[in-house]
Chain A
Amino acid sequence: MKKYFNAGILTLTVILVGTHPSAVSAEVYSSIDTQKLEATIGTDKAVGTWTLQVQNTGGAVGFEDFRNFGATGLLSYELTKAFDDNGPLAINFEEGFKAIRLRSAGNGISNVKVQYDIKTALTHPIAIYEFWVAGGGYFNFPQLNVSYQKGWKVLATYPNATITDTTIAIKYPTDTPYIYPALIAFVPTDIGPGNVIKTVGRFTLAGSVQSVAKLESAVTSMTYLDDLFTSSLGVPAPTKLIIYAADLRNADVGYEAFALAARPDIVLYNKDILTNQSLAEVQTTLVHEIAHTVEQDKNLFRGAPYVAPWFREGLAVFMEIQARPYIFKNLNEQAIADLAGHTHMLSAAELKRKNEKSFDYIFEGGVFAPLNDAYAHAGVAVARFAQKAGASGMQKLFVQLADKTSTQLSQTEDSSKILASMASISGLPQEEILFPFKKSQNFELDTTPFVHPEYTGTAADGVVDYIKYRIPNYFTGAMPVASMLPLPPIVVPAPSTSPAFTSGSCKITKALKLGTKDAEVTTLQRFLISKGYLATDNNSGYFGSMTQAALQKWQKANRLVSNGTLTTTGFGVMGPKSRALFAQQCK
């Protein structure tokens, strides 16, 4: 099991929903019976005015600046004005933040209005704004009216809205006491240089040209989504999804994020991570986040992830596990992703060790207790439940978990009521759900569906080859280390359709050998593929052990050299004689 890195933080795929800091003291929740937001969204910021029917309750209410808000963690709110029916209210500075505090009964406060400047880090090619509801997640019938720039296109809203050319009216639903912050996604008139928005099937892909091209390559292969979600969860995948490759450096989400899911069916993909991932890893991450959008649609736990992060992430990891047969084309590719890439998989031995420890319900994690392992173990727990309960059991569970308060589900950290539901539906003891097959006499066999194999043979060879030859070598000094960045993505070629080899490719000018990374290596590999010495899809440009073996076969077959080493006879090196023969055969 790989760990992502030792930097003092862990890099994970996470969900964050509705965890914005409330700007309002808890004491007066009940007094804010109705509220109204009037907002105008400009090119660089929005200005919003909240009208709150705060009456003299004897409690305290306060408003202050806050940043990194909402589902995306990418907004900042600066308090600019506050007033009530009697005139302006004083704004003070508290620990560097602007704030107003209204206290005690009988002070004549009523109908408070607070105004904020709202800035988002997500502006191009899609602009996303979120609007909090005073009183935290628990609200009472707010009405949001938003004006926006003429010429902008509203891409999506949450909740549903009445939309005109320049206005958006959102009336929050009243059938649930909890809801996420309102979110509006626009396509601005100017989507920014080098950006693109493209629709591919159910997906709207947004980001830089390079990011969208990468995403398109991944989602084009994801024709399995409906089958996957229907067979695993009993519901199809969302019919529309926005995948936005964005700069998430400003996203304060509690973790470093590979990607985030936000309502309505938006996946924000960390563009830095996307750049360096293989297409299999991109698919894995997308499946994970799409599972989160389904969770959100089902309003599990009223969208309060702190109730049971292990279940939320476990469900998403379970979907990763289910998607593996669709995603990975061969064991080698899977081995590299599991051991040296971005998946949440344990081996049987690792699961056995995890089963001996306490279950990490709340993902305490830490630098030395990798959250990745907690995610993986949670995924196995949900997978064990699903194995027994099936998709219909999962649907029953969704019904039981939807719209429940935290106290209805879990009065302690142990998620006892969630587990009771899972046990009741599946017929499994709770212990067996959290620690699958712990007492089994056939542990390795029983856990096979949930874990990755102990890679041996050619799969292990492939991982070794990958580490030795297919990643940048920072020690070589062949070029300045800084110029190696950004790193080339791991090449996961698309399914081959009989690679063409044209005469235009017949140019090898220098010696090629093990470890070489060069466009001419691709030329050699394509030649060897066309001659049948190298398996298709191996034209990566890296001269690895497979390329060397293929070249040796070709050298033997053509009686150039049949034994020796790189240095003694040039066996396995594309030297002068080999290049001369190559030039003849290539024509």
Chain B
Amino acid sequence: MNLSTFLSVGNVSARCAVALVSLFVFVSAVSPVITTAYYNAVSVDTICRTEDQTIEVLLPANWLYKEQAYKTIGGAEVFYLKLSDQADQGSRATKGGYVLRSTASGIFGLPSTITSRLDPREMVNFYLHQIIRSSMQGKVLSVKVIERNGEKVYSVEWSYVTSLNRDQIEFIVLDEFIFRGDTVYQSHGVYASFRSEIRNTIVRMVQSLKASK
């Protein structure tokens, strides 16, 4: 066992390994056995890695990874890792993120008989379409296909307005999709537009997703 701290939440085990520059802070700040979401966050950026070492994502300073498990969504098994700011909880949360890993069917909520006939661009396009027609004041802000670490990354940004809070809040959402064989990874970050100072953190988090090949 290395210096990263072993975590067990739900039915999935994972570990958050700290970035080298903040090793001391990480070890001292995190309880060695964590079974709930309510533990102290780390005051510097860390790297969060699943126990099977297949997924790695940046955990911003003072953020938690609250929950990780396998869920069945629309019939497909989806692994998810939920990230959120320790100080920003509940229905008034203004920022957050998650990572999903599943089949295209699990990520996009379509039967495999349909996804097998669509290319990645079409599936991401469908994702955006579903969002826009199911949200209030939904807008697609940008779409692009970029090359990162030798593979295509489908990067989209969109916004919507929610009434869940007492006041209308516009949220900006960034998503990145990586298609690798039968597996699709989605990295997702969201922040309230009035919290524009958090944008760089969200961008770094979303773009930090690494999945082992």
Contacts and interface: CB of A to CB of B under 8 A. Distances in A.
Interface in B173-190: 173, 175, 186, 188, 190
Contacts of B136: 248-249, 256, 270, 272-273
B146 interface: no
Contacts of A4: 130, 134
Interface string A460-503: 10011001100111110000011011010000000000000000
> Which 6 pairs from chain A and chain B are nearest by CB?
A276-B133, A1-B74, A3-B109, A2-B109, A11-B134, A5-B131
Interface stretch (A363-371, A440-448, A530-538): A363-371
B93 to A, nearest CB: 8
B65 interface: no
Given A3-B74, A481-B140, A472 B129 contact: yes
Contact of A7 (B73, B126, B131, B145): B131
A475 B125 contact: yes
Contact of B114 (A250, A353, A464): A464
Contacts of B110: 2, 339-340, 463
10 contacts: A5-B134, A6-B127, A9-B164, A11-B134, A248-B163, A276-B133, A339-B111, A350-B74, A474-B125, A482-B140
A249 B168 contact: yes
B161 A249 contact: yes
A8 B96 contact: yes
B137 interface: yes
Interface residues of B, number: 58
Interface in A309-351: 339-340, 342, 347, 349-350
Interface of A: 1-9, 11, 67-68, 73, 248-256, 270, 272-273, 276-277, 339-340, 342, 347, 349-350, 353, 357, 367-370, 373, 454-456, 460, 463-464, 467-468, 471-475, 481-482, 484-485, 487
Given A3-B74, A347-B75, A276 B121 contact: no
Nearest to A271: B136
A7 B98 CA distance: 10
A175 to B, nearest CB: 35
Interface in B111-166: 111, 113-114, 117-118, 121-122, 124-143, 145, 156, 160-166
A252 B166 contact: yes
B130 A2 contact: yes
B171 interface: yes
Interface of B: 69, 71-75, 78, 80, 82, 93, 96, 98, 100, 109-111, 113-114, 117-118, 121-122, 124-143, 145, 156, 160-166, 168, 171, 173, 175, 186, 188, 190
B132 A487 contact: yes
Nearest to A473: B125
Contacts of B190: 7-8
Contacts of B133: 273, 276-277, 487
B73 A342 contact: no
B205 to A, nearest CB: 14
A4 B131 CA distance: 7
A366 to B, nearest CB: 9
B126 A467 contact: yes
Contacts of B131: 5-7
A6 B186 contact: yes
B126 A340 contact: yes
